[in-house]
């Protein structure tokens, strides 16, 4: 499974069309909140379960998306954060559509 098309419609969502024709749409706030990098994972662990982070515009604006091999995309955010590697199955799990 690989992305055929990756888009950021209206700068609000990440849209992926996969090579099996399935689709994934993830809200950018959710994508940033669940950033899989070690720094963000540690931060999440230190917060209470009910904590709702408030993001600045730069933190939820994507500046670059790069494919990593055959298994993931790396997302660079406008605030400079670029260590999140989103593996394809993880992304599919975040999708708002089935
Ligand atoms: Zn992160």
Residue 98 has pLDDT above 80, yes or no: no
State mean pLDDT over 69-81.
97
Q: How far is the CA of 47 from the centre of ligand 1 (A)?
A: 15
Between the CA of 84 and the centroid of ligand 1 the distance, in Å, is 5
DSSP of 42-78, one letter per residue?
A: HHHHHS-TT------GGGG-EEEEEEETTTEEEEEET
Strands 72-77 and 13-18: unpaired
Domain residues of the chain, as ranges? 3-94
**pLDDT value for 80:** 98
Options 3.20.20.60, 3.30.2020.30, 3.90.1150.10, 3.30.2320.30; CATH for 3-94 is 3.30.2020.30
Q: What is the pLDDT of residue 8?
A: 97
Mean confidence (pLDDT) of the chain: 94
Task: Give percent of the chain above pLDDT 90.
Answer: 89
Question: Which residues surround the ion ligand 1 when the cut-off is CB under 5 Å?
Answer: 35, 37, 40, 84
């Amino acid at each position: 499974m690989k992305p055929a098309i990756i888009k950021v419609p209206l700068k609000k969502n990440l849209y992926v069309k996969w090579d099996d024709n399935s689709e994934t749409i993830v809200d950018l706030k959710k994508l940033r909140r669940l950033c899989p990098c070690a720094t963000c994972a540690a931060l999440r662990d230190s917060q209470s379960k009910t904590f709702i982070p408030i993001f600045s515009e730069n933190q939820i604006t994507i500046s670059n998306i790069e494919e990593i091999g055959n298994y993931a995309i790396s997302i660079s955010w406008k605030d400079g954060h670029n260590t999140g590697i989103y593996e394809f199955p993880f992304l599919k799990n975040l999708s708002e559509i089935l």
